[in-house]
Structure 1
Amino acid sequence: MTEQKYTTDDARGTNYHLMLGDSCERLAEIDDNSVDMSVCSPPFDSLFTYSPSMRDLGNSANRGQFLDHYRFIVEHQLRTMKPGRIAAIHVQQLTTTKSTHGHVGMSDFRGDVIRLFQDVGWIFHGEATIWKDPQAQSIRTKAFSLAFQTKNRDSAHVRPALADYLLLFRKPGENAVKIPHLPDTGEVTNNDWIEWAGPIWYDEHSDDDEQRFGPIWTSIKESGTLNGRMGRENADERHIAPLQLEFIRRCILLYSNPGELVLSPFGGIGSEPYVAVKNGRRAVSCELKPSYWQSAVKVMQDLEADMSTPSLMDVM
C-alpha cells in the first residue's frame, strides 16, 4: 500500500469538536482535567487494516510495537480526564495463526490492554463480557475452530466463539461532580441497573430466557451501528468496525452527566460523538483517516440539523 499523506483539520458544531489527525499528537491540544468520560474501541492490534498510514495503530508490526504506540494515547486520556472519572474501552481477544505465530491459538489482547492502562496509572475499575452469536461468527469469519466440520473430524481443535469486552478504568482521585441517577428522575432507572450491572451482556437476538443466569444486558444488538458503508475506501482498507450504539449509550448515561464532555480518541465514522450529543452531552474526538473523519462530520452536521428542527409539539 502507498503511504497515506498525513493531514489535519477541524470541524466544530454547537456541542462537538471533531479533530482530524494523529491522536498521539492532537490529543495534546485538550486541556488537563477537562474531560468528564471517555469511550472508544481502539484498533485490535493488527487484526484489521484501516488505512495505509504508518501512524495507524492497526499497522503495528507486532504486539509490543502496538502497545508502545497505544501508550501515548492512554497517557493523554489519563491527563485530560477529571479525577475519579471513567474511561470505557471496548476490546476483543485475538487469535494466533500458524503462518504468523507458528501455532493456532489465542492471544490475551484484553489482558495486555488492562496491564497497559494500569502501568500508565489508571485504576482497573470493572469489566463486562458481551455475548456473541457463535453461528454468526463462524459464518462471518470462517473460523476453523467454530466449524461443524472441525468438531466432527477432531474436536481437539474447536473453541468457543470470541466475546467482546467492556473494560472500565478510573482516574485516581475523588470525583468532584457526582453523577446521580434517582429512581424516578435519573437517566438510568433501578430496573436499568438491575440489567446493566450484570457481568454478561447478551445480544438482543438471544431471547431464550431459560438459558440466562443472573442479570444480563439484553439489547447490545451487533448490527446496531452507524452505516458500515460510510468512509469505506476499497483501495486502502479491508475492514470497518463501528461500535454498537447501545454499548456507547449505556456507558455515556452511566458515567457522565448531561452537558459534560465525552472523549473518543478513535472517532471513526462518528459513533461516540453521535451518541454523546444525541443524549445531551458535548463531544470531542480524533480520527486519523480522512474519509472516516469526513463521514463523521456529515453524521454530526445531520444530527445537529435534526436536533434543531422543531417538532410538531414545539410548533403547536
Structure 2
Amino acid sequence: MSVLIIEAFYGGSHKQLVDLLQEELEDCVLYTLPAKKWHWRARTSALYFSQNIPLSERYRILFASSVLNLTELAALRPDLGKLKKVLYFHENQLVYPVKKCQERDFQYGYNQILSCLVADVVVFNSVFNMESFLTSIGKFMKLIPDHRPKDLESIIRLKCQVIYFPIRFPDVSREHDKDPESFFKVLLHLKDLGLSFHVSVLGETFTDIPAIFPESKKALGSSVLHWGYLPSKDDYFQVLCMADVVISTAKHEFFGVAMLEAVYCGCYPLCPKDLVYPEIFPAEYLYSTPDQLSKRLQNFCKRPDIVRKHLYKGKVTPYSWAALHGNFRSLLTTEPKEDL
C-alpha cells in the first residue's frame, strides 16, 4: 500500500511535516511545489498535480495540506478521488487575517470548505484551529448573497479530529500576521530605557520584507546577535540554546512550532493570551497587552537569573514525534473504504 503525499506549499512547517512522514513511514510518495506565491498555489496547484502525478494502482491513501484544492484534484483525477483522502490543516483561511478584504479572498476559504466535504478525514494541528474553522463556516457562508448551502458545519465536523503537529526535538542540553511592529516597538522601548539585552531574529525571508525589519535592525545596533535565516538546523537550535527568552507577538497562529522548539531548548516563553497559545502554554507565560510584555521583559533584563534558573512548568513531550507517530501511522495505514 502506498501513501501519496501532496504538498502545494513545500516550505516551513508544511515541509517539516511531509519530510518527517516520508522519512518515518513506509512506502510514501511525495509530490510538491515550492513555497512561493501561496495564493497561486491555492488557485492552481490541483491542475498542476493532476497532470504531473503518474497513474498508479498502488496508491491507497492521499494525504494533503489544505493549501491544495482537493475538490478540483478529485474531479480532474477520478483515480485519486477514489482514495482515502486525508486533509491536514496547518492554518485555515476562515479566520486568516487579510490587510484588505476583497471579494476574491472568499475563494480561499470556500475552497477549504469544499475540500473538507470531499475529504474522508480532516485533521487539524490544534483545537483552536479546528474550532475557529468550524464555528466560522456559518458566518462565512453568509457572504454568499443568496441560495446559501446549509448544515455545512455539522457535516464537516463529523470528519474532524485534532492531531498536534509532530516536532522532532533536537538532542540538546537545553510576516504581517506575526506583528513584527509590536515586537520591535517593545525592544526599542527597552533600549530607550537603557536596559541591557541581546536579540536574535530568526526566520525565512520571502519576496516582500516589511520595512520594520531593516529599520529595527539598524536601531537595535549592537544588541543584535543573529539576524535572518539559518539554513542549518543545528545552527538554529544552537542559537535557541543560547537564548533566555522567546517572544511571540503573533496576531495569527494556529500552532507555533518555533515557540515549542525554543522552549525545548531552554527558553522562557512569552506569548499572547490568545489564539492557540492558551491551549499549549500555562497561564504564567501569557500576556494580554504590549505593556504587560514590556514590563515582563524589563524585569528579566534587570534580573536575568529569574529566567535562567526557571524550570518550564508546561509540557513539550505531547507535541513530539515520539508521542504522535502512532496517531499518524494509524491515520495513514487504515484500509480504504470497502468499495475500492
* Higher relative contact order, chain-length normalized (CA < 8 Å, sep 6+): 1
Query: Larger Rg: 1 or 2?
Result: 2
Structure with the bigger percentage of helix? 2
When the two structures are superposed, what TM-score results if normalisation uses the length of structure 1? 0.31
When the two structures are superposed, what TM-score results if normalisation uses the length of structure 2? 0.29
